[in-house]
Structure 1
Amino acid sequence: MPGPLLRPLPILFLTRPEAASARFAEQCGDSGLRFDTVISPLFRIEATGPLPDASAAGGLIFTSANGVAVWLAQGGRRDLPVYTVGDATARAAEAAGMRAHSAGGAADDLIDWLIAHTPDLPLMHLHGRHTRGDVAERLTKAGLTCGSAVIYDQPAQPLSAEARAALLGTTPVIVPVFSPRTGELLAQERAQAPLLVAAMSEAVVNALGPLHKRDLKVAARPESEAMREVVSDLLKRALAGDY
């Protein structure tokens, strides 16, 4: 008699820049769950030119680790205090010797914290061309001195042939989506595979719009660890055939 059919391993489909995707895949693998990995970044990070003059700034705001990386690569100052939305961005700044405070949440949490503590120093929000939250504008309206500058762009790039094949196949695909920018780009892709999507936030859910998906779960907190928890749950379901 023929043996039982072997179910193919689920695919962990990662669309962040290569280094961040590889790191997340490795962390997910630490759980002991088995899966295949497809990495195909939907955008790349490009510095937009010389850094803005930060001589008058008393503190820097970063809402992405990409901003920290570009700031440091371009020779930005490391002696200023840093305020970040999430822990991963704070860790990136601290690894370079900068003093960082993380709001441990979303842009709203950082804005609320800064308003409550009212730093007596001018701030500058350094971000990508595609950003949300109106951080500098909202802080300025609240009475704080805060400027804003674009220091990098996130131009879109096409999915690889392997990634497109995964989206059009029959194997379950687990898709962590970390930003509205990624959600918007992913929503433009044709998909017919059973997609199990992990969204970083409600803003990401809104950006995904009409994307074909079998299931969608939002992380309990907008941070990498919470995303891994959701991805692990979705991987377990896929491995059990519960999709």
Structure 2
Amino acid sequence: MTAGLLLTRPEADSRRFAAMLPEFRAVISPILRIEPVAHDASRLRAARGLVFTSAHAVASAGPGRGRLALCVGGRTAQVARAAGFMTREGNGFADSLLPLIESAEMPLIHPHGRHLARELPVEGMVVYDQIAQPLNADARALLTCEAPVLLPLFSPRSARLLAAQTGESCAELWIVAISPAAAVAWSGPCSRQITAAGPTADAMAAAIRLMAGMEQS
């Protein structure tokens, strides 16, 4: 029995991730909607250095013009480079930014979402909100199927939001967490659970394939 794949990141992120796993039938139901909020755009555009813990914040800082951007991981760094920033990147975990911050030798601003998983020792500025969304009809239908459902968790907050909406699920839920923190945040039903080897899309895709392969072996 082929497992379904429920992707709940924002639409563009989910579509990009689904393209990495063409062998799965993916249902996309964003659990969060990204909405810009009013902020001091002129300060961000004048900042010599930025810290990005999400690609969603890059556009708020304006053109890079060769300015320094400390990025949490590869995807965020890719978006920042495309915007014209000179990037240094961590390993995907926020803690990996700490030595980069210490060595930057310039004032830094961290534009981020309203819901922040980890505070950093630099000035922060909220530039977008992550608004919770209900699962759509396709997702609810998938959760009533007899086939197992692979459910990737990309953050502790999304894990909590999804747990609150999947308590009545009839399907077996196979949980794939991007980090130990996301795994711990899950309190919903669970038939199987693993944590990816690292906080990257590639590691998550590998973990999903590993979980699906367990059923076939």
Taking structure 1 as the reference length, what is the TM-score of the superposition? 0.82
Q: Which residue of 2 aligns with 1:41?
A: 30
Q: Which residue of 1 aligns with 2:174?
A: 196
Aligned length: 213
Larger radius of gyration: 1
Q: RMSD of the alignment, in Å?
A: 1.7
Q: Which residue of 1 aligns with 2:128?
A: 152
User: What secondary structure, in the 3-state scheme, does the structure 2 residue paired with 1:54 have?
Assistant: helix
Q: Is the 8 A contact 1:196 1:215 kept in 2?
A: yes
CA deviation digits over 1:34-85, x for unaligned, max 9? 32111000011000024442366321001011112x416xxx2412210011
Q: Is the 8 A contact 1:51 1:71 kept in 2?
A: no
Q: Which amino acid aligns with 1:67?
A: A
Q: Which residue of 2 aligns with 1:132?
A: 117
Q: Tell me, which stretches of 5 or more residues in structure 1 are unaligned?
A: 1-6, 140-145
Distance 2:36 2:175 in 1: 30
Q: Which residue of 2 aligns with 1:3?
A: none
**Residue 18 (1) aligns with residue 11 (2):** yes
User: What secondary structure, in the 3-state scheme, does the structure 2 residue paired with 1:28 have?
Assistant: coil
Distance 1:54 1:91 in 2: 19
Q: Tell me, which stretches of 5 or more residues in structure 2 are unaligned?
A: none
Q: Is the 8 A contact 1:84 1:90 kept in 2?
A: yes
Distance 1:87 1:61 in 2: 13
Shift in alpha-carbon separation, 1:86–1:147, aligned structure 2, 3 A: same
**Residue 82 (1) aligns with residue 69 (2):** yes
Distance 1:51 1:62 in 2: 16
Q: Which residue of 1 aligns with 2:198?
A: 221
Taking structure 2 as the reference length, what is the TM-score of the superposition? 0.92
Q: Which residue of 2 aligns with 1:66?
A: 56
Distance 1:183 1:85 in 2: 20
CA deviation digits over 1:5-58, x for unaligned, max 9? xx3x311110001111111111112xxxx3211100001100002444236632
The list of structure 1 runs, each at least 4 consecutive aligned residues, that deviate by more than 4 angstroms after superposition, is none
State the percentage of identical aligned residues: 38
Question: Structure 2 residue aligned with 1:175, among 151, 154, 158?
Answer: 151
Distance 1:154 1:226 in 2: 24
